[in-house]
Amino acid sequence: MVTLEDVAKQAGVSLATASRVLNGSTRQVGAALRARVEQAADELGYRANIAAQTLARGASNVIGIVVHDLTDPYFAALADGAMRAAATEGLLVMVGTTHRDPEQEIAYVATLNAQRVRAVLLVGSRVADPAVTGRLRDELARYQAGGGRAACVGQDLLGVDTVAPANRQGAAELARALADLGHTRFAVLAGPPHLVTAADRCAGFVEALEELGLPAPQVIHGPFDRDGGYAAATQAGDATCVFAVNDVMAVGALAAYRERGVRVPDDVSVAGFDDIVTLRDHVPALTTVRLPLKDMGARALELALGEGDPVVVEQVAGEVVLRESVRRMT
Amino acid sequence: MVTLEDVAKQAGVSLATASRVLNGSTRQVGAALRARVEQAADELGYRANIAAQTLARGASNVIGIVVHDLTDPYFAALADGAMRAAATEGLLVMVGTTHRDPEQEIAYVATLNAQRVRAVLLVGSRVADPAVTGRLRDELARYQAGGGRAACVGQDLLGVDTVAPANRQGAAELARALADLGHTRFAVLAGPPHLVTAADRCAGFVEALEELGLPAPQVIHGPFDRDGGYAAATQAGDATCVFAVNDVMAVGALAAYRERGVRVPDDVSVAGFDDIVTLRDHVPALTTVRLPLKDMGARALELALGEGDPVVVEQVAGEVVLRESVRRMT
DNA sequence: GCAGACTTGGAAACCGCTTTCCTGGGAGGT
DNA sequence: ACCTCCCAGGAAAGCGGTTTCCAAGTCTGC
């Protein structure tokens, strides 16, 4: 590989001058030398070694993003938002997928720490297990002790800047909207009990129904994905309206109903949560709670990059979007 | 940050010994010292500085993946496949999204080169513009001249190892399958004319029809995305069967028909290409050509990591999947 | 009990770049 | 004309590791 020294030699200047010309500096370099250096670099096809720069400068321009699964459009949208924001800041992005394995998440934070990345973004829902969360917090603390910055999208469980969707409120609003339509018997496809996002959405929904004086819904736990929604839907009893705690599960539920000849929304209404863009053409169109995922990703990056010493927790409100997957009763 | 020197000092050993204990080496270290070093590292919370390691070792364990758009499930699946493969190799992944801007793609390759990444994967369709492709090739050549490895998923345009979906054949098979169902009047929602993937799929389809002695289809160009499919569908004439060159466009087309009250497949049949997983619950279920996207991503990484000096180009066959979005005529 | 072969630990060179510090020369002030 | 100040250019000291090369010790075999 061509090094800066090669360029300097070819241009007949010192290393320092070559560095100042090519890799940015506050110092001026005379026009003549500048031209010679640039020409030499061009002829030789010089590319600065970023590892060396990072080492010398003591700061890198890489950020790390940790998500569960890139093929899940929810994470893809969040990651995309963060990546676009990173690009405008001239930052490079390292992406890690954990496939929901907390150990992987911890390992990834350690690695990003080793990379001395400028910031790390933890995206997605975490389990409430204090042992695992504790170790993740330790690893993050270690990273932050070394000057690293971190932010997270999801719950405020980690003691870092957080962009938190207002899961409880969103679910509660949805519940009220559905009750407004005349529904009284509900089921919740609630996802895993220990997953905080899922639990919050479920709780918000249940509480809102309680406040309205409606009977408690049937709560069915299961995996947080499409197949989980599918399976849970087959267990739902005589509810007139089913709330899946995320859109992907709702789609699974719709598939289950379709296969069994249960008409949506005629026989049963279905609602989800997130408003995944890829699903906007789904039939029937899904009633859901819209979250501004891209903005949330971008905002998380902003928080991570910011100086703010006190830990910031931003609630992001969702917006209930009624579509054809629910019907008015009576 | 805690450095190796801090650890060595705390353990009362030399830098060399500490390095050998903590960061892997062929050399043995005595059990007593080893234990002291490990304890010191643990107490101090030492994390090796990867930038320094990369510099010293002259090799990094990072690979770069360049995709157009992570929120497009096609790229997400490909990237996911590659990332899973990378994880099993213990490699870190740097992901860049270009949003279809060729300049960004070139810039990203330059940056990955500067990072001295082990390999770079270019994923996705490229435009046929020789000027742009030439510059990308130059940048890649420069990278490879420095010992870098590259592979690409898409067309064999770059002179690097390539995993290429058999677009022509897949489209041709699809055409024959549709003709078998009795269709004779076709339209192709063909995407941008200069996009090689789109052009190949269109050409394969058109040629197959020609071979069958059927009339040439109406070819409608437009963007390669959902809205492109939507717009193109509104321009389709009296075809009984519409082929969108990718699934996302097909979904757009289905949306357009739905809005206009055109029934699919009763009034018109629709087929796509890719078999995007997220769309498997779409209604009506989409007839398409299945591509093993995850495997392709993984395979591309394998090729990039491999030693093989001669450039490998692997064709990956697609499989026609007939679903309810098409009907039998007669 | 001793020469020679292996091991183990440490000193120091090196990876490629940034940046501080120093030097010499030209500009500006009086 | 002299002195100061400023600025462009270069030498060299890091940044945090790895690895080569030595030296000293430990084992073996006879």
B4-48 has which fold? 434 Repressor (Amino-terminal Domain) (1.10.260)
DSSP B96: E
> According to CATH, where is 3.40.50.2300 located in chain A?
60-164+294-316, 167-290
Q: What is the pLDDT of residues B189-202, one digit of tens each?
A: 999 999 999 999 99
Q: Which residue of A has its CA nearest to B284?
A: A283
pLDDT (tens digit per residue) in A266-297: 999 999 999 999 899 999 999 999 999 999 99
pLDDT tier at A161, thresholds 50, 70, 90: very high
- How far: A17 CA to D9 C1' (Å)? 7
Task: Encode pLDDT of A165-192 as tens digits.
Answer: 999 999 999 999 999 999 999 999 999 9
In terms of C-beta distances under 8 Å and separation of at least 24 residues, what long-range contacts does A56-60 make, across chains too?
A59/A116, A59/A118, A60/A115, A60/A116, A60/A117, A60/A118, A60/B51
Mutate to test the interface with A, among B23, B47, B100 (most CBs of A within 10 A): B47
Domain covering A60-164+294-316, topology: Rossmann fold (3.40.50)
Domain A167-290 has CATH 3.90.180.10: no
Evaluate if residue B217 carries a pLDDT over 90: yes
**Cβ neighbours, 10 Å, residue B213:** 8
For residue A93, pLDDT over 90 is answered with yes
**pLDDT for position A168:** 96
pLDDT at position A26: 83
* Alpha carbon distance B187, B217 (integer Å): 5
Q: Is the pLDDT of residue A240 over 90?
A: yes
Q: Over 90: is that where the pLDDT of A228 sits? A: yes
Q: Quick one: closest CA in B to A109, which residue?
A: B47
The pLDDT, as a whole number, for residue A254 is: 97
Q: Which of A76, A79, A94 lies at the smallest CB-CB distance from B94? A: A94
| Cα B68 to Cα B99: distance, rounded to the nearest angstrom | 5
Q: Tell me if residue B310 falls in helix, strand or coil.
A: coil
Q: Which of A96, A61, A134 is nearest to B84 (CA)?
A: A96
Average pLDDT over residues A59-69: 93
Comma-separated ranges of CATH 3.40.50.2300 domains in chain B: 61-164+294-316, 167-290
pLDDT tens across A32-57, in order? 999 999 999 999 999 999 999 999 99
Establish if B111 touches chain A: CB-CB under 8 angstroms. yes
What is the number of other CB atoms lying within 10 angstroms of the CB of residue B307?
A: 5
Instruction: Provide the shortest C-alpha distance from residue A208 to chain B (in Å).
Output: 31
How far apart CA B329 and CA B240 sit, in angstroms, is 9
Using the beta-carbon criterion (under 8 Å), do A96 and B93 form an inter-chain contact?
Answer: yes
Question: Is pLDDT above 90 for B126?
Answer: no
Supply the pLDDT for residue B255.
96
* Secondary structure element (H or E) that encloses residue B149, with its range: strand B149-153
**Homologous superfamily of the B61-164+294-316 domain (CATH):** Response regulator (3.40.50.2300)
